[in-house]
Structure 1
Amino acid sequence: MITTATTIQKNRPVKKKGKSMLRRVIDWLHLWLGLASGIIVLIVSITGCLFVFQKEINEMYYHRQLFVTPPAQQAPLPISVLKKRAEQVLGPNKPLLNITTWKQPDRAWEFMTYKGNDTALTYFGAVEYYESVMINPYTGEVTGVLDYKHNFFSIVKSIHWSLLLNTPYGQPVIGWGTFIFVILLITGLVMWWPKRWTKAAREQSFKIKWKASIKRVNYDMHNVLGFYSLLIALVIALTGMVWAFKWFESTVYVVASGSTTPPDVKRPVSVKTTAPVSADPLDVAFRAALPVLKDAKRIFVYPATFPEGVHVIGGLKGKETYYGADELQFDQYTGKLLGRRNDSHKNRGEKLIEMNYDIHVGAIGGLPGKIIAFIVSIICASLPVTGFYIWWGKKKKKSFAKG
C-alpha cells in the first residue's frame, strides 16, 4: 500500500490556533482589573440595588408623617404661614433651604433644612444636619420631623456615593472603580463573543445549563447574565461617572449639545423697595406660579437667602423624577415675576445632564424601569463573585496539576 503525502497530511493532528496577542491582553485586563475592582463593584451594585425602591419603602414606613386626610373643599393655608411654622420647629440655628409642595391633596408638605461640612472625613461628619418638617397644608399641624441624616437609605446612598466617606475622599474611589467596571463590561463582551455562531456556540452563549456541575453553572451565570445585562449595566455605570468626573460630565454635555459653550442663563436679582406690600411676597409669588406650573405634580420652592436673592419656584412633572422642570424667579420683596426658564429653553446637553439621576436609578422608565435597574444591579453584584470563583477554580486546578 502506497502512503501518499496527501494521506499523511489528512491523518496529521490539527493544531488549535492560539489566541492572538490582542485577545491575551484583553483576557489579562479582564482578570486583573476584575480582581482589583471586584469589592468596589460589589458594594456599589448592592447599595444601588437597595436604593432603587427607597421612595416606595420610605412612603410605607413614614406613611403617617407623609400623608394627610384632606378636608372637603378646603384650600391649603398660605405657604408663608406654613413656612413660619416649620421655622419655629427647626429653630433659628437651622435655616430653611427648600420646600416641596404637592398637587396631590393627601400629601404633607415638606420643609427641608441641610448643612454640610466639607472638611470632615466621613459621611456623619460631612452632614451636620439634614432634616425635614412635614406639615399638613390645611391645618398647619406638624405631622413629623424626619431625620434624613440617619435614615437607612441616606446611609445606603452615602455608601454607594462615596463609601461612607466625605465626597472628596470617597467618590474618586467609586468613580475609578466604576470606570474599571466599564472596561470590564467591554472586555467581557469580547471574551463572550463566539468564534463561530454554531448551534452549540449559541447554546453556550445564551443559556445557563442549570443541570450541569456547580463550576459550569457559575461559569454560565458569569457569561450569560453578564451579556444580558450589558447594555443597562453600561448605562448605569456611565451615568454614575457623570457625577464622579467633571471631565466626563463635560464630555457628555458637549456630545449631547454639540457645543463647548455653556448656556447663557440670566440671573435676575431682587431690588429692595420701601413701597408697602399688601401680602407676603412669597405668597404672591406662589399664587402666581400655580397657574403657570399647572402641569406639575410637585412644586418646589427655594426661598431667597440673601438680600439680592430671588424666590425660585419650579414644577416637576413626575411624582418621583426630577428632569423636565420649569423654573420661575420672583422678587423676594414684591413677589413680582422676574424671570422664567422652561424645560423647552434648555439645550440637549442640559436636558441629558438633568436626566442623569432619573436614568441612573431607572425612574425615567417608571416602575418597569426601576424593576429593570433592580435586577441588573443584582446581576452586577454577582459578576465579581462568579468571576472570582472562576479564577479561583482555575488557580486550584493549576496548583493541583503542578503538584
Structure 2
Amino acid sequence: MKRFIGWLHLWLGLASGLIVIVVALSGSLLVFEDELEHLFEPSLFSVQAPVGAQRMSLDKLAKIVHDRYPTLKPNNIEIQPAANSTVTFYLKKGKAKGQLLMVVMNPYTGQITHTAAQDKRFFVVVKNLHRYLCMGETGKVITGISCSLFTLLIISGLILWWPKRNARKQRLKVKWNASFKRLNWDMHAVFGFYIHVVIFITALTGLVWSYKWVNNLLFYAFDGKPQKKVEVPESKAVKGNEIAWLDKIYAETNQRLTYNGIVNIRFPEKKDQAISVGKENTDRITTHIVDILYFQSGSGVFISDKLFANDTKGTQARRLVYPIHTGGLFGWPTKILAFICAIVAASLPVTGFLIWWGKKRKKPVVRKQVRPQTVIA
C-alpha cells in the first residue's frame, strides 16, 4: 500500500507541481497585499493635508470626476478612515467585469492625483494569476484541479512521512551537514510535515472558490441548506434632488456603524436597486469583516442593513474563508505563518522533483554472479 501511495504521490506532484509553485508564490505576495501597497504606493492612500483645510464633500468630488469623465459611469467609491486619506472613485470602462478606471483624488483640493486601469494594477494581476493563471475560466479550471491534487498530495505525503518508532526523531529534524541528496530529502519531508496542517487548510479553503459544490457544502454544514443568493433591495432612485445625498449616506453609515473602517459606496448594477454601502471593521484583528447598509439613490434615505452579527452561521463561516485562506484570521502572527508556509509549499515541488530525478538517474547495481566452485573428490 505504501508503495502505491508513493507512486501516487510522485505522479500527482509531477502533474500539479508547476501550478502549485505559481499559486503558492503569488499567494505569498497576497498575504501582505494591503501592507505592501501602502508601503510602495503611499500616494494612492494618503495626502498632505493643508493646515486648517476642510475636506470637500463627496458630492463635489463626484461632480469633478463626472465632469472629467462624462461618458463613464461610477461603479463604487472607496473612503479610507484616516483624515489624511485619499478618496478613490472606480468608473466602468466597459461592460466586462473588472474593466474599471481607478481615479484617486485629494479630498482637500479636489485634484485628481492618480489614474490607472484597475485590471493593470500589480496586485490585481497577481490575484488574477493566483486564481485564474491570467487565463480566465480555463485558468480557474486548471487551478481548481491542481488545488484538488495538492490536497491529495498533502495526505499522501503525510502517510509516506509517518515513521516507525525508532526513526521518529530523524523525521523531525533537518540534518544540515549531510550530503545534498539527504539535505534535499529532509527539506522536502521535514519542512512538508511542519506546514502540512496550514497548507491543507489553505488548499481546502481555496476549493471554496474553485467549486460551487464545495461552497454549498460549507452552507449545508452550518445552515443545513445551500447558500441563498443575496439580492440588493429594490429602491426607485430619486432624480433632480439637490441635497448632498452621498455625504448623507457616508455620515449615516458612520453613525450606524461606529467602529473605524473602510467605507465602500457601491452603485447599483440594475435600475431601481438600492445603493450598497459596505464598511470593513478595521478595529477587529480578523480582516474582511464587513457590514452592509442599503440606501436610496438620489436621496440617501436608509432602507435596510445586512450586518455580519445577524448573518446565518453559514454566511459568517463563508465570510471567514478569505481571512483563513490569506492568514488574516488573527492579524500579523497568522499572516507571517501563512507567508512562511506559502514559501515552503512553493519549494516542495522543486525538492520533490530533485528526489525523483536523483532516483531516476541512479544507476542500477549489477550484482556479479558467483560461479559455484567445482569440488574434486
- TM-score under structure 1 length normalisation: 0.84
Percent identical across equivalent pairs?
Answer: 33
Q: Among residues 6, 19, 23, which one is paired with 2:2 in the alignment? A: 23
Q: More deviation in 59-68 or 376-385?
A: 59-68
| One-letter amino acid matched to 2:268 | A
User: How do 1:302-381 and structure 2 match up within 5 A?
Assistant: 302-318=266-282, 323-381=288-346
**Deviations, residues 1-29 of structure 1 (Å, cap 9, x unaligned):** xxxxxxxxxxxxxxxxxxxxx32222221
In 2 relative to 1, CA 43–273 (structure 1 residues): closer, same or farther, beyond 3 Å?
closer
**Deviations, residues 156-175 of structure 1 (Å, cap 9, x unaligned):** 22221111111x11101001
Contact 1:268–1:310, Cα closer than 8 Å, also in 2: yes
Residue 142 in 1 paired to residue 112 in 2?
A: yes
Which 4+ residue blocks in structure 1 deviate beyond 6 angstroms?
none
Measured in 1, the distance between the counterparts of 2:366 and 2:131 equals: 44
Measured in 2, the distance between the counterparts of 1:135 and 1:234 equals: 42
User: How do 1:294-305 and structure 2 match up within 5 A?
Assistant: 294-305=258-269
User: How do 1:222-237 and structure 2 match up within 5 A?
Assistant: 222-237=188-203
Deviation at 1:387, TM superposition (A): 0.6
Measured in 2, the distance between the counterparts of 1:272 and 1:378 equals: 50
Q: More deviation in 260-269 or 325-334?
A: 260-269
Query: What is the match of residue 112 of structure 1?
Result: 90
Query: What is the match of residue 285 of structure 1?
Result: 249
Query: What is the match of residue 145 of structure 2?
Result: 176
Measured in 2, the distance between the counterparts of 1:114 and 1:191 equals: 52
Measured in 1, the distance between the counterparts of 2:230 and 2:202 equals: 29
Measured in 2, the distance between the counterparts of 1:342 and 1:117 equals: 30
Contact 2:232–2:274, Cα closer than 8 Å, also in 1: no
Q: Among residues 40, 47, 64, which one is paired with 1:61 in the alignment? A: 40
Query: What is the match of residue 130 of structure 2?
Result: 160
**Deviations, residues 59-85 of structure 1 (Å, cap 9, x unaligned):** 233222321123456553221211222
Query: What is the match of residue 15 of structure 1?
Result: none
In 2 relative to 1, CA 334–65 (structure 1 residues): closer, same or farther, beyond 3 Å?
closer
In 2 relative to 1, CA 212–33 (structure 1 residues): closer, same or farther, beyond 3 Å?
same
Specify every segment of 5 or more residues in structure 1 that has no aligned partner in the other structure, as ranges.
Answer: 1-21, 119-125
Deviation at 1:135, TM superposition (A): 1.1
Measured in 1, the distance between the counterparts of 2:316 and 2:51 equals: 39
**Deviations, residues 128-152 of structure 1 (Å, cap 9, x unaligned):** x333111122222222113332223
Alpha-carbon RMSD: 2.4
Deviation at 1:246, TM superposition (A): 0.6
Query: What is the match of residue 374 of structure 2?
Result: none
| One-letter amino acid matched to 2:39 | M
In 2 relative to 1, CA 246–116 (structure 1 residues): closer, same or farther, beyond 3 Å?
farther
Q: Secondary structure at the match of 1:269?
A: coil
Q: Secondary structure at the match of 1:363?
A: coil
Contact 1:301–1:313, Cα closer than 8 Å, also in 2: yes
Contact 1:66–1:143, Cα closer than 8 Å, also in 2: no
Query: What is the match of residue 193 of structure 1?
Result: 162
Q: Secondary structure at the match of 2:47?
A: coil
| One-letter amino acid matched to 1:237 | A
Contact 1:323–1:351, Cα closer than 8 Å, also in 2: no
Residue 208 in 1 paired to residue 174 in 2?
A: yes
Q: Secondary structure at the match of 1:217?
A: helix
Contact 1:324–1:351, Cα closer than 8 Å, also in 2: no
In 2 relative to 1, CA 236–117 (structure 1 residues): closer, same or farther, beyond 3 Å?
farther
**How many residue pairs end up in the alignment?**
366
Contact 2:101–2:117, Cα closer than 8 Å, also in 1: yes
Measured in 2, the distance between the counterparts of 1:299 and 1:177 equals: 36
Q: Secondary structure at the match of 2:365?
A: helix
Q: Secondary structure at the match of 1:327?
A: strand
Measured in 2, the distance between the counterparts of 1:165 and 1:339 equals: 38
Q: Secondary structure at the match of 1:211?
A: coil
Residue 40 in 1 paired to residue 19 in 2?
A: yes
Measured in 2, the distance between the counterparts of 1:229 and 1:273 equals: 55
Q: Secondary structure at the match of 1:279?
A: coil
In 2 relative to 1, CA 261–210 (structure 1 residues): closer, same or farther, beyond 3 Å?
closer
| One-letter amino acid matched to 1:279 | I
| One-letter amino acid matched to 1:234 | F
Query: What is the match of residue 241 of structure 1?
Result: 207
Q: More deviation in 67-76 or 209-218?
A: 67-76
In 2 relative to 1, CA 284–191 (structure 1 residues): closer, same or farther, beyond 3 Å?
same
| One-letter amino acid matched to 1:63 | P
Contact 1:204–1:220, Cα closer than 8 Å, also in 2: no
Measured in 1, the distance between the counterparts of 2:39 and 2:180 equals: 40
Deviation at 1:385, TM superposition (A): 0.7
Deviation at 1:105, TM superposition (A): 1.1
Q: Secondary structure at the match of 1:98?
A: strand
Measured in 1, the distance between the counterparts of 2:2 and 2:213 equals: 30
**Deviations, residues 263-311 of structure 1 (Å, cap 9, x unaligned):** 586742223568x756133332222222112103211101235431111
Measured in 1, the distance between the counterparts of 2:61 and 2:312 equals: 36
Contact 1:172–1:244, Cα closer than 8 Å, also in 2: yes
Query: What is the match of residue 85 of structure 1?
Result: 64
Q: More deviation in 143-152 or 214-223?
A: 143-152
Measured in 1, the distance between the counterparts of 2:94 and 2:172 equals: 48
Measured in 1, the distance between the counterparts of 2:61 and 2:299 equals: 19
Specify every segment of 5 or more residues in structure 2 that has no aligned partner in the other structure, as ranges.
Answer: 368-377
